[in-house]
Structure 1
Amino acid sequence: IFSTHDALVQVVRRADLLIGAVLVPGAAAPKLITRDMVKTMKTGSVLVDIAIDQGGCSETSRPTSHSDPVYLEEGVIHFCVTNMPGAVARTSTFALNNATLPFVLALADKGWRRAIADDPHLRNGLNVHAGKLTCKPVAEAQGLGYTAPEQLAA
């Protein structure tokens, strides 16, 4: 399946379960699934919008909670729970710790300038320094100036 609008229209129409997991780091999720597409889905099918924390990738998505997770829209069951990892807090905390500890150690061992110079993933995680936006999508979304992290680490 090619990632095109036309292909998406065809796939959405046939889906019993549609999972939207779109992430544009630092920006709102694009609305790839239109209301008209949702209307073509089978009654009782399910749309799970993982991108809801970034605004959702469907025009019919709205944030829900763990205590009231679903709603019906256009005959389609929507599951748009924000902070989905919160349902398994202990497990997700261990996963987050395991994922972030190497970055914390690099910062502690090398200092922030050398750490971000050595690691592009850590460099991409820098959003603001000394009042300057270092995350291009955030700067663009806010209409503010952008400073490349490399300029600040020099």
Structure 2
Amino acid sequence: MDVRRGAGTITINTNTRDPSAMQLRYQISVGQMARECASAAGNLNIKVGMQGRIVLGPAGGPGTIEVPVRYALVEEGPQPKTLYSKLYRVPVSIAEGQPSVSFTHIEEEMSVPMPTPAAFDRYVIYVGFDPLGSAQERQQKRPAKKRAPQG
């Protein structure tokens, strides 16, 4: 298991044009990770868990935020091959007066055909935050705007 480069921490500011420390709402980081693998019916079933932490900045406050957590299984090599990838928006509540909060998430649906022993050694499970993927997913779910008839 590994944290994808650049995906171990995200910051959320009140103003994206002014990323100063006083504009910081939340900083979110990956803490511990664990995995459990099992073979069943010719498949490799993997259970992956992660613990993260949210720290409030000067502009942060109580409420619920959605943390974009992505799990991916990649067969590394000269041409890496993504075998599984899934994005979750994990809701985390922050109570009044809490300067930080820990959260956990467990992925139990990761399943791929059982690899050969040589391929298995190249498998890497990546965990990290994917705010861009979360934004793209929301964009794709929006209904297309209807155009007014011309003529």
TM-score bracket, normalised by the shorter chain, equals: under 0.3
Structure showing the higher helix proportion among its residues: 1
Q: Which of 1 and 2 has higher RCO (CA within 8 Å, sep 6+)?
A: 2
TM-score normalised per structure 1? 0.26
TM-score normalised per structure 2? 0.26
